[in-house]
Amino acid sequence: MGELGGARMSVKVELHPRQAEAFSSPATELLYGGAAGGGKSFLLRVSALRWCLSVPGLQAYLFRRTFPDLRANHLKGPGSLPDLLAPLLAKGKARWSEQRGEFRFAGGSTLKLAHLQHESDLIKYQGAEIHVLLIDELTHFSESQYRFLRSRVRLGGLKPPGPLADRLPRIECATNPGSVGHAWVKRAWVSPKRPQEVWRAPAGEGGMRRQYLPARVADNPTLLAHDPDYLDRLEGLGSPALVRALKNGDWDIAAGQALETFDRERHVIEPFAIPDHWTRFRALDWGSTRPFSVGWWAVSDGDDPRLPPGAIVRYREWYGWTGRPDTGLRLTSAEVADGIREREGGERIAFSVADPAAFGRSDGPSVAERMAARGAIFRRAANDRKAGYQEVRARLRGEGDNGPPMLFVFSTCTDGFLRTVPELVLDPHDPEDVATRQEDHVYDEVRYACMSRPFRRTAGPPATPQRDRWGRAFDFTQPHGWRVA
Ligand SMILES: Nc1ncnc2c1ncn2[C@@H]1O[C@H](COP(=O)(O)OP(=O)(O)O)[C@@H](O)[C@H]1O
Ligand SMILES: [Mg+2]
């Protein structure tokens, strides 16, 4: 390797062979992934500079999930952007604007350093025209965040010089396995084809030329020369799965996946008409600026051979989001109550549970009280997080090792359940609980639903849930759907 850019403006770098392969990849949706220390972030920086220095007017965006990571990883120390660009910065051929968070080059191209620290940051990129999208630590992003960013990738008015034309616009990502996005990244790049193969992604997924190039620690001689103990330190991480993931770039682990036993093949079923005599109930996790999740559940009587007696089926969902991850519809409790009743069309709901926060009062009636006034009556759900996690897991696992599961989801639950639940990760500080700072509203609702019908304790007749005061108030006086079982 040698110089990036042309005669007027260039920077010298040396790439290791694996990095060089990624650098010259013909793919337009590249994942350079695998082991920690494999030189991935460095490669992204070098690639960003190549595009900015060789195509005047080009707009490149380098993303990390959070702002502090962005700084620490790309703006500090040897091999960072300021370090690589030092000669150009000194000559004024590249400038850093702290305010705009971007490098601007003499040819009019820009490299913007971007992050999605807060969900609301996504909106900043709504109108962006991204010619080269670089994402570091892709598994820290959710699939919908990625899809959104990818939808901003277009050529617009840019006219790249001949030899580069068919490589733009493009996406280059780098990542370790693990973290929130492990499952979807693996599904999109790693599982479908052999490493290094370049293939056309399905039209519904952008239709770009996709490629997965594995990177191992051994592929980065710089690191091992400067820090020979690095591998030993990785070994010291503890969890063997995490060590394998970070050291070898092994994707065949459920690194931190909270519900790794969830399996579309086993748990997702095509919709069918729920028999009238099945018990139906609903669960709610309230939210306004963040999404709410309403799940409608039915309890199998065992007549359908696929669904053991007592198995619960999530047959409908209403996920209160705008279509942007973790962003709520900001509906009032009355509007949600009306929406719930409307979707039910008069079906008989035996009981309903809602998160304790819905019962909180700051000024005036609680959310639950307001909803009750419109005919959607909820009682307080059991909210022991760890017990709930165990219940959800027990239901997903089902009876014995190979028996059918005790929890099913209709394939129509795509907005909430199927998008968010499989991606949830464990709390890194507490392997017995799901981490809280993620899009976990459906999971919480599922947890309340499971806690309302404990699977482990159904040997006898199911325990009758405690009537709450709304039950006492309405039980015998109101039409169906109002009772509390
Ligand atoms: N080709 C290279 N030349 C010089 N230093 C490199 C090169 N590739 C990687 N490095 C350095 O090796 C270290 C680890 O690389 P990095 O890209 O951060 O790894 P990763 O992102 O895969 O964990 C960093 O200090 C980086 O600057
Ligand atoms: Mg890195």
Per-residue pLDDT reduced to its tens digit, 306-354: 999 999 999 999 999 998 888 999 999 999 999 999 999 999 999 999 9
**175 Cβ below 6 A of ligand 1:** no
- Distance (angstroms) between ligand 1 centre and the Cα of 97 equals 25
In this prediction, residues 409-420 reach a mean pLDDT of 91
CA 459, CA 105: separation in Å to the nearest integer?
A: 70
Q: Is the pLDDT of residue 471 over 70?
A: no
User: What separation in angstroms does the CA of 461 have from each of 166, 282, 396, 434, 456?
Assistant: 66, 20, 21, 30, 12
**82 Cβ below 6 A of ligand 1:** no
CA 341, CA 343: separation in Å to the nearest integer?
A: 5
Residue 479: pLDDT band with limits 50, 70, 90:
very low
Q: Whose CA is nearest to atom 20 of ligand 1?
A: 37
User: What separation in angstroms does the CA of 307 have from each of 225, 262, 410, 460?
Assistant: 58, 16, 13, 19
**15 Cβ below 6 A of ligand 1:** yes
pLDDT of residue 456: 64
In this prediction, residues 77-92 reach a mean pLDDT of 95
CA of 34, closest atom in ligand 1: 22
Q: Is the pLDDT of residue 97 over 50?
A: yes
CA 146, CA 62: separation in Å to the nearest integer?
A: 13
**37 Cβ below 6 A of ligand 1:** yes
SS3 97: strand
- Distance (angstroms) between ligand 2 centre and the Cα of 19 equals 13
**pLDDT greater at residue 211 or residue 192:** 211
pTM of the model: 0.61
Name which of 50-54, 113-117, 151-155, 242-246 the model is least confident about.
242-246
The shares of helix, strand and coil residues in the chain, as percent rounded to the nearest 5, are 35, 20, 45
pLDDT of residue 482: 27
CA of 37, closest atom in ligand 1: 23
pLDDT of residue 2: 67
Q: Say if strands 102-105 and 110-115 run parallel, antiparallel, or are unpaired.
A: antiparallel
Q: Which of 1, 13, 42, 45 to mutate to test the pocket of ligand 1 (most atoms within 8 A of CB)?
A: 42
Q: Whose CA is nearest to atom 23 of ligand 1?
A: 37
pLDDT of residue 481: 26
> What DSSP state is assigned to residue 420?
H
Name which of 84-88, 160-164, 204-208 the model is least confident about.
160-164
CA 191, CA 201: separation in Å to the nearest integer?
A: 13
pLDDT of residue 475: 30
**181 Cβ below 6 A of ligand 1:** no
Phi, psi of 51 (to 5 degrees): -65, -40
**222 Cβ below 6 A of ligand 1:** yes
**42 Cβ below 6 A of ligand 1:** yes
Q: Whose CA is nearest to atom 2 of ligand 1?
A: 15
Q: Is the pLDDT of residue 480 over 60?
A: no
In this prediction, residues 423-429 reach a mean pLDDT of 78
Phi, psi of 434 (to 5 degrees): -85, 140
Q: Is the pLDDT of residue 420 over 70?
A: yes
Q: Whose CA is nearest to atom 13 of ligand 1?
A: 223
CA 232, CA 429: separation in Å to the nearest integer?
A: 22
Q: Which of 223, 224, 226, 234 to mutate to test the pocket of ligand 1 (most atoms within 8 A of CB)?
A: 223
Residues 358/367, Cβ–Cβ less than 8 Å? yes
Q: Which helix (H) or strand (E) holds 335?
A: helix 333-344
**16 Cβ below 6 A of ligand 1:** yes
Of 105, 137, 141, give the one whose Cα is nearest residue 125: 141
Residue 255: pLDDT band with limits 50, 70, 90:
low
**pLDDT greater at residue 92 or residue 484:** 92
Task: Return the structure tokens found at 251.
Answer: 């994707």
Q: Whose CA is nearest to atom 9 of ligand 1?
A: 39
DSSP bridge pairs for 431: none
CA 366, CA 356: separation in Å to the nearest integer?
A: 10
Q: What percentage of the chain reaches a pLDDT higher than 90?
A: 62
Residue 8: pLDDT band with limits 50, 70, 90:
low
Of 284, 301, 265, give the one whose Cα is nearest residue 447: 284
User: What separation in angstroms does the CA of 6 have from each of 11, 52, 107, 134, 167?
Assistant: 9, 11, 11, 22, 18
User: What separation in angstroms does the CA of 194 have from each of 201, 203, 214?
Assistant: 14, 20, 10
In this prediction, residues 206-218 reach a mean pLDDT of 92
> What DSSP state is assigned to residue 206?
T
CA of 19, closest atom in ligand 1: 1
